[in-house]
Amino acid sequence: MRHQRAYFKWLVSNFCKDPDEMDFPYSCLVEQMYRKDYYFVIMNDENRAEDGTYLRWMYRTNHDGAVPEGPCSFLEFVIGVAIRLSEMLAEGAAIHPRYYFWELVSRLRLTDYTDERYGEEATMFVVDAIMTDFMDRKYGYDGCGGLFPLRRPRKNQTKQEVWYQLNGYLLENPEFFEVKV
């Protein structure tokens, strides 16, 4: 368990927390995202889960110690998508996956839940419901409430795998390629 804690700390320090940030106000949120199993209801979204569990291999290549077994965590899933975005969009620019991670987390409206908010009794339940609703595809036909909302969807986004949602979003929002951090 202690070694798995080292893996979690590695995820946070490499993909969530800015190294220059003295105070990290999202410790409770990322911990809850890590403890939540990611599951998928659309065929081929297992590929996004594999992107998340690939992080375990990345960790193992440079560190001794155990990594979790079993399903991808919600945190690993979001980091995996953020890495994919970084690889697709950076084109040589130094845009760290951390930027895309927080962009995705904010689209789920999870950035509202700082450590201070975790002092409120209902916060854990609300955050859990947001993650569950996302995985159960309880968001709009246009993707609103998910990761990649569209202005003019051609198909019901709740029936599209995350990869196709992402690509549809990028086609509709070419300015996203011009992100400057």
Q: For residue range 57-81, what is the model confidence (pLDDT) as tens digits? A: 999 888 877 888 899 999 999 999 9
How many other C-beta atoms can be found within 10 angstroms of the C-beta atom of residue 64?
Answer: 7
Is the per-residue pLDDT at 98 higher than 60? yes
**Residue 5: predicted pLDDT:** 87
pLDDT digits (tens, 9 = 90+) for 11-40: 999 999 988 888 899 999 999 999 999 999
In this prediction, residue 96 carries a pLDDT of 86
* Predicted confidence (pLDDT) at residue 132 exceeds the cutoff of 80: yes
Task: Please compute the mean of the pLDDT values over residues 134-161 and round it to a whole number.
Answer: 96
- Residue 170 pLDDT > 60: yes
Compute CA 39 distance to the chain's CA centroid, rounded to the nearest angstrom: 13
Which band of pLDDT confidence, cut at 50, 70 and 90, is reported for residue 93?
A: low
Name the H helices within 12-148.
27-35, 46-62, 74-89, 97-107, 123-135
Q: Is the pLDDT of residue 181 over 80?
A: no
Average pLDDT over residues 129-139: 97
For residues 108 and 14, what is the distance between their CA atoms, to the nearest angstrom?
A: 21
pTM here is 0.92
Residue 159 corresponds to which amino acid? K
Q: What is residue 64's predicted lDDT score, i.e. its pLDDT?
A: 78
User: For residue 2, is pLDDT > 60?
Assistant: no
Mean of pLDDT over the chain: 90
pLDDT at 3 over 70: no
- Grade residue 180 by pLDDT with cuts at 50, 70 and 90: low
Residues contacting 81, CB < 8 A, separation 6+: 48, 51, 100, 104, 147, 162, 166
Q: How distant, in Å, are the alpha carbons of 71, 82, 83, 174 from that of 77?
A: 10, 9, 10, 24
